[in-house]
């Protein structure tokens, strides 16, 4: 037990070190974590680490899906719902079919049922890698929203395909009509369980006397309850977590207090960072175990099969992406679509952003060792190795070339009326004007003059005037005077912190009061740096 704890702590330190290196090299950290795990796997200390699929599905997957659901904008999700659902369901099924046909044709003795099993395993792309890269390179918000939305649903569709394909291999029978009906049942009832339990947790947050700590703990328990409840009845736990997460995310402002929102966001950001880091590191660490179990299939042939399936997935996703463009143009003649002419730039990037991740590896590892009759499961070790090669090739090759492709393609953001900076200025101006109207209405009630309200009114008038001036100024290089003000304001906050630390040495001031004042200064700096990302380098 003690050795396992030390191994876990060492892996966490490795995650931190590799992520810092990735930030220094301006790479997406999942790529470096997989490569770092691959390098560690050749050492004696970590040569025998194995990923337990139950741990991935029952420990890692629910909170990661839930956190992703909270991050997704429901408004964007609904706007691009047709594109998202087409990538999450039809594209996954088409990809599984293509992989089934190719693997059946290329691998001697590989049946179509095994091909569908492999297709269900390797069909879902991993969104963490793609969105991490897209946030480092200027890309339209629409593409990030589609990738995030797709990731919430494609895991569920691929796991359902995997489940039915595995049943077909184990029993030797496959009834299409029955499978299609069961497919719909798993989706509908999984979603219904998620929504139903989501409403229960909403009621707990909304009407019971919870505290910020209780709210945060409840948010940590919610994804596990959603997932286990659906899986217990053999429905889609993934869709239960996604639907419940989307529901609760849309209600966060009514069911959580301001303190609960702040504290839970901090906890979840750290938790998801650690879980994602460990998952990608463990993928690399799994190579020696998978290679040793290849058995009669030679390493060279296995690598060749893995590269061919990787090429099939890359080409298949690109074809599906451009096929979706043609279908959208055709459908626009009969229904209203978000964009009747998507062009080729967006589909090119979405098609290339198909890196595979931990769900694929966990699915492959969950294949049973033995058939019901007692003989070994056919080609299990080869399927595991092909899955690992697919993850490695797509994550490293596509992950490293995606930023270059985005810069070369240079997608236009034709769906955004205002830039993010303009949107923020407009909102800040409207907020200042609304606050000013309220203060003036209070002053008009004829009450005694209030010096604090007069001070607030003057500040709001100044803010509204500044926002109006900035909106009227043509877009150009950053305002040097504004940047100079921000730098001096940050220095002012540091001076105030120094004073508070000095005051903390005096016995007449409680340290808890000092800490509250320091928290206010931290929030003030956070707001400034969020509005001005270029100040990050001056931290």
Is the residue at 191 inside a domain?
yes
In this structure, the answer to whether residues 283 and 425 fall within a common structural domain is no
Quick: pLDDT tens for 423-468. 777 877 888 888 888 888 877 776 667 787 888 888 888 878 877 7
Same domain, 448 and 338: no
What would the pLDDT profile of 464-518 be if each residue is shown by its tens digit? 887 777 777 765 555 667 677 778 888 888 888 888 888 888 887 788 888 888 8
Distance of CA 424 to the CA centre of its chain: 24
Does residue 189 sit within a domain? yes
Number of domains in the chain: 3
Residue found by looking up tokens 């948010």 in the block: 219
Looking at the fold, whether 394 and 470 belong to one and the same domain comes out as no
CA trace torsion 420, 423, 428, 431 (10° rounding): -140
Please tell me whether residues 319 and 384 are part of one structural domain.
Answer: yes
Name the β-bridge partners of 376. Answer: 370
Same domain, 461 and 491: no
pTM: 0.82
On whether both 238 and 285 belong to a single domain, the answer is yes
Distance CA 71, CA 85 (A): 18
Q: Are residues 37 and 166 in the same domain?
A: yes
CA distances from 418 to 197, 414, 427, 471, 483 (A): 38, 10, 12, 11, 22
Shared domain for 422 and 513, answered yes or no, is no
Higher pLDDT, 306 or 445: 306
Q: State the Cα–Cα distance between residues 108 and 23, nearest whole angstrom.
A: 44
> Residue 417 to residues 140, 420, 421, 423, 479: CA-CA distances in angstroms?
12, 10, 12, 9, 23
* Average pLDDT for 327-341: 70
Range of the domain at 500: 485-539
In a domain, 271, yes or no: yes
- What phi and psi, each to the nearest 5 degrees, are found at residue 125? -70, 155
Is 253 a residue whose pLDDT tops 80? yes
In angstroms, the CA 390 to CA 394 distance is 6
Examine residue 6 and state whether it is found in any structural domain, yes or no: no
> Quick check: helix, strand or coil at residue 370?
strand
DSSP 534: G
Write down the pLDDT at residue 471. 73
Boundary residue ending a domain (409, 433, 461): 409
Of 475, 493, 513, at which residue does a domain stop? 475
pLDDT of 335-385, one tens digit each? 766 666 777 788 888 888 888 887 888 888 888 877 877 788 888 888 988
């Amino acid at each position: 037990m003690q050795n396992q704890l030390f191994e876990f702590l060492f892996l966490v330190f490795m995650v931190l070190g590799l992520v810092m290196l990735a930030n220094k090299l301006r790479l997406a950290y999942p790529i470096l974590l997989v490569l770092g795990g691959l390098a560690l796997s050749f050492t004696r200390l970590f040569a025998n680490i194995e990923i337990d699929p139950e741990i991935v599905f029952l420990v890692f997957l629910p909170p990661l899906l839930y956190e992703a659901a909270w991050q997704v904008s429901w408004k964007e999700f609904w706007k691009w719902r047709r594109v998202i659902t087409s990538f999450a369901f039809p594209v996954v099924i088409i990809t599984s079919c293509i992989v089934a046909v190719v693997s059946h044709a290329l691998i001697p003795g590989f049946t179509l049922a095994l091909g569908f099993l492999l297709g269900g395993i390797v069909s879902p792309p991993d969104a963490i890698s793609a969105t991490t890269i897209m946030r480092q390179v200027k890309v339209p918000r629409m593409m990030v929203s589609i990738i995030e939305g797709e990731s919430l649903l494609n895991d569920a569709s691929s796991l359902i395909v995997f489940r039915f394909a595995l049943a077909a291999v184990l029993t030797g029978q496959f009834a299409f009509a029955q499978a299609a009906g069961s497919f719909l049942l798993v989706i509908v009832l999984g979603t219904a369980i998620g929504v139903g339990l989501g409403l229960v947790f909403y009621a707990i947050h909304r009407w019971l006397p919870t505290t910020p700590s209780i709210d945060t703990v409840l948010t940590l328990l919610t994804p596990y309850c959603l997932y286990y409840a659906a899986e217990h009845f053999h429905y889609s736990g993934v869709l239960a977590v996604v639907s419940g997460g989307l529901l609760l995310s849309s209600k966060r402002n009514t069911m959580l207090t301001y303190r609960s929102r702040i504290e839970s966001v901090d906890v979840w950001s750290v938790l998801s960072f650690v879980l994602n880091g460990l998952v990608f590191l463990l993928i690399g660490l799994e190579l020696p175990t998978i290679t040793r179990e290849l058995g009669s299939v030679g390493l060279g042939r296995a690598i060749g099969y893995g590269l061919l399936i990787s090429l099939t997935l890359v080409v298949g996703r690109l074809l599906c992406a451009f096929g979706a463009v043609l279908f959208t143009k055709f459908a626009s003649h009969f229904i209203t679509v978000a964009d009747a002419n998507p062009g080729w730039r967006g589909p090119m990037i979405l098609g290339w952003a198909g890196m595979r991740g931990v769900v694929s590896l966990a699915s492959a590892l969950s294949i049973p060792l033995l058939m019901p009759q007692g003989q070994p499961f056919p080609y299990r070790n080869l399927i595991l190795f092909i899955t690992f090669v697919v993850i490695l090739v797509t994550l490293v090759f596509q992950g490293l070339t995606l930023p270059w492709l985005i810069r070369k393609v240079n997608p236009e953001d034709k769906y955004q009326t205002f830039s993010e900076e303009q949107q923020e200025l407009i909102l800040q101006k409207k907020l200042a004007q609304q606050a000013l109207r309220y203060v003036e209405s209070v002053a008009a009630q004829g009450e005694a003059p209030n010096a604090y309200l007069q001070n607030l009114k003057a500040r709001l008038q100044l803010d509204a005037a500044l926002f109006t001036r900035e909106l009227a100024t043509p877009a150009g290089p950053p305002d040097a005077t504004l940047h100079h003000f921000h730098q001096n304001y940050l220095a002012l906050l540091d001076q105030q912190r120094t004073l508070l630390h000095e005051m903390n040495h005096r016995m007449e001031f409680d340290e808890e009061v000092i800490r509250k004042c320091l928290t206010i200064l931290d929030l003030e700096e956070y707001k400034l740096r969020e509005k001005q990302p270029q100040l990050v380098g001056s931290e």
